[in-house]
Amino acid sequence: MKKLLLATLLLVSSVVFAANEGVMSLRSQSLDVQDPAEKLKNYPKENLQQPINYIQQPPLIPHHIRGYEVDRKTNKCLTCHSFKNFKRYGATKISVTHFINREGQALSDVSPRRYFCLQCHVPQVKAKPLVENTFEPTGALAE
């Protein structure tokens, strides 16, 4: 019985390792090789918001966010972007859609499903694309 179990385990594990063969990461590295981290990207000198490419696209973050704490108790983004503080810091205020819960009820504070900003918003950096992108905006956004 032990021999049968060992043979089955060897067969299954060989299939798993064979399935990984030839698969490459977006950086053209084999998945078996530890890929060194790339150098940090440069953020644009100007804090200009990039135009959106599609309707309902979350705006990109035009500044660095290294060291920003966003967890269930703290959200560094709200220091500047809350309704209470956005004017003081000259920041973009968060959208009213962030105050609506999944039942469609308006809340007095940010909805828990919108509290973790980095689920949708990402920093904009000067970097070449990892893969070719032929996307083109349509309609009024293309102008």
Enumerate residues 6+ apart whose C-beta is below 8 A from 118: 65, 70
Instruction: Give me the torsion for CA of 26, 29, 31, 37, rounded to 10°.
Output: -80
Q: Does residue 79 lie in a domain region?
A: yes
141 or 29, which is more confident: 29
Specify the pLDDT at position 14: 67
Whether 31 and 25 have beta carbons less than 8 Å apart is answered as yes
Residue 91 lies in domain: 36-127
Answer yes or no: is 6 within a domain.
no
Residue 22 lies in a domain: no
In a domain, 8, yes or no: no
Distance CA 38, CA 107 (A): 41
Q: What is the pLDDT of residue 85?
A: 93
On the question of pLDDT at 132 being above 60, the answer is yes
- Average pLDDT over the chain reads 83
pLDDT of the residue at 141: 63
Alpha carbon separation from 1 to 5, 37, 43, 81 (Å, rounded): 6, 46, 61, 64
How many structural domains are present in the chain? 1
Residues shown for the chain: 143
Question: Where does the pLDDT of residue 30 fall: very low under 50, low under 70, confident under 90, or very high at 90 and above?
Answer: confident
Could you tell me if residue 68 is inside a domain?
Answer: yes
Tokens of 35: 């890929």
For residue range 68-122, list pLDDT tens digits in order. Answer: 999 989 999 999 999 999 999 999 899 999 999 999 999 999 999 999 999 999 8
Report if residue 71 sits inside a domain.
Answer: yes
114 in any annotated domain: yes
More confident residue, 16 or 109: 109
Q: Could you tell me the CATH number of the domain that includes residue 111?
A: 1.10.1130.10
